[in-house]
């Protein structure tokens, strides 16, 4: 059939050069790319693990500074409430906490943070929707307790939370709700240089400056700022229902701050993490925590009474 025996071998050579060789080169390139990506992935994982261990060491050093010198007086938070159109509210809270920023952030973002906050009765579910480096988006479902005057109960909370561990910030927005038309907000944690007097005349601007001028003995506290917007649903807008909802929301936020300050006081005492239920403390520890908690609440109530008296005096004048 083939008169020239060199035709078929020549065809095979042509096929090899035009198809097989480019395919082999492409496979080799893809293999190199895959290996390169694998190396980059392993390198990034090693760097992330190294950074995590380094941050944990820094945090432990900061906590030890507080254990060595736990003296700190909690001040009542600054709470401002602005109301628009009768029902839309903007709640702003600022409070200083005697604990490093990373510790405060860990308390807020702990997957089972009901151990810290008494108004969270149940952590129903927590799903990580996206995670990229220090940022992640989380879907959280909880059952929260409320108490106002002689009424009390629980209500479901369904939040989408965006967390940024690098900046120590968080944004949240409620998804499905029966009681709120709007419920969203954000909070951030910033460092406070507690022992600036150790730096003599130098005014530290960064954590590195502070650590250097205080010879590593300076304690680092936290300034927590919370901004929250909420508006009751249409059926709860008319007074006095809207007043009750506003009072419940503000009281719940204040209760969370009280719990945060109580947990910070416990950690400064060297308890080292834990919560209200399974903290492993004995009877003396429970009494100590109760006394700290009551001390914070009493100062808080005193501040609210004094503000109420000033408001009454202004009305009388």
Q: What are the structural domain ranges in the chain?
A: 1-68, 73-120+165-306
Question: What mean pLDDT, rounded, does the chain reach?
Answer: 77
Q: Find all residues with CB under 8 Å of 213, minimum gap 6, and list them.
A: 198, 199, 200, 202, 204
- Report the pLDDT value the prediction gives residue 103, as an integer from 0 to 100: 95
Residue pair 158/141 in contact by the 8 Å Cβ criterion: yes
Higher-pLDDT residue of 68, 42: 68
| CB distance 233 to 178 below 8 Å | yes
DSSP E strands: which ranges in 24-98? 78-84, 88-97
Q: 16 in helix, strand or coil?
A: helix
Q: 152-191 burial by CB neighbour count: b if 16+ within 10 A, else e?
A: eeebebbbebbbebeebbbbbebeebebbbbbebebbbeb
State pLDDT tens for residues 263-303.
999 998 844 344 444 443 333 333 334 444 455 455 555 55
- Summarize the confidence of residues 302-310 as an average pLDDT: 53
The yes-or-no verdict on residue 187 having pLDDT over 60 is yes
Query: Using CA atoms in the order 123, 243, 87, 79, what is the torsion angle rounded to 10 degrees?
Result: -70
Closest CA to 169 of 109, 118, 84: 109
**Beta carbons of 100 and 220 less than 8 angstroms apart:** yes
Instruction: Report which of 304, 262, 301 is spatially closest to residue 285, judged by C-alpha positions.
Output: 262
Closest C-alpha to 220, from 244, 189, 251: 189
> What confidence score (pLDDT) does residue 263 get?
94
N- to C-terminal Cα distance for the chain? 120
pLDDT at 60 over 60: yes
pLDDT at 144: 83
How far is residue 122's CA from residue 145's CA, in Å, rounded to a whole number?
9
Dihedral over Cα of 156, 253, 62, 136: its sign:
positive
The answer on pLDDT for 50 being more than 90 is no
Is the pLDDT at 62 greater than 60? The verdict is yes
Q: What pLDDT was estimated at residue 317?
A: 45
> For residue 72, is pLDDT > 50?
yes
pTM: 0.69
CATH, domain 73-120+165-306, list 3.30.530, 1.10.3470, 1.10.8, 3.30.70:
3.30.530
């Amino acid at each position: 059939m083939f008169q020239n025996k060199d035709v078929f071998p020549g065809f095979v050579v042509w096929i090899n050069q035009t198809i097989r060789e480019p395919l082999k080169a492409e496979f080799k390139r893809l293999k190199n790319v895959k290996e390169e990506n694998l190396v980059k992935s392993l390198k990034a994982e090693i760097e992330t693990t190294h950074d995590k261990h380094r941050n944990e060491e820094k945090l432990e050093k900061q906590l030890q500074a507080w254990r060595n010198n736990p003296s700190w007086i909690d001040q009542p938070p600054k709470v401002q409430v602005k109301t628009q159109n009768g029902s839309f509210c903007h709640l702003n809270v600022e409070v200083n906490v005697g604990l490093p920023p990373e510790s405060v952030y860990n308390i807020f973002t702990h997957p089972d943070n009901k151990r810290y906050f008494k108004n969270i009765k149940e952590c129903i579910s927590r799903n990580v929707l996206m995670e990229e480096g220090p940022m992640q988006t989380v879907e959280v479902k909880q059952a929260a307790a409320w108490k106002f005057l002689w009424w009390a109960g629980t209500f479901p909370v369904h939040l989408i939370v965006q967390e940024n561990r690098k900046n120590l910030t968080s944004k949240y927005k409620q998804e499905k709700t029966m009681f709120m038309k709007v419920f969203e907000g954000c909070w951030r944690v910033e460092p406070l240089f507690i022992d600036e007097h150790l730096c003599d005349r130098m005014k530290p601007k960064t954590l590195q400056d502070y650590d250097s001028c205080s010879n590593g003995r300076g304690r680092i506290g936290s300034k927590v700022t919370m901004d929250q917007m909420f508006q009751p649903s249409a059926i709860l807008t008319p007074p006095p229902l809207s007043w009750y909802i506003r009072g419940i929301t503000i009281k719940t936020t204040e209760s969370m701050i009280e719990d945060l300050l109580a947990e910070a006081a416990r950690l400064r005492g060297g308890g080292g993490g834990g919560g209200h239920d399974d903290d492993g403390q004995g009877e003396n520890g429970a009494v100590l925590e109760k006394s700290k908690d009551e001390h914070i609440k009493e100062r808080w109530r005193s501040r609210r009474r004094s503000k109420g008296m000033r408001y009454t005096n202004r009305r009388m004048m």
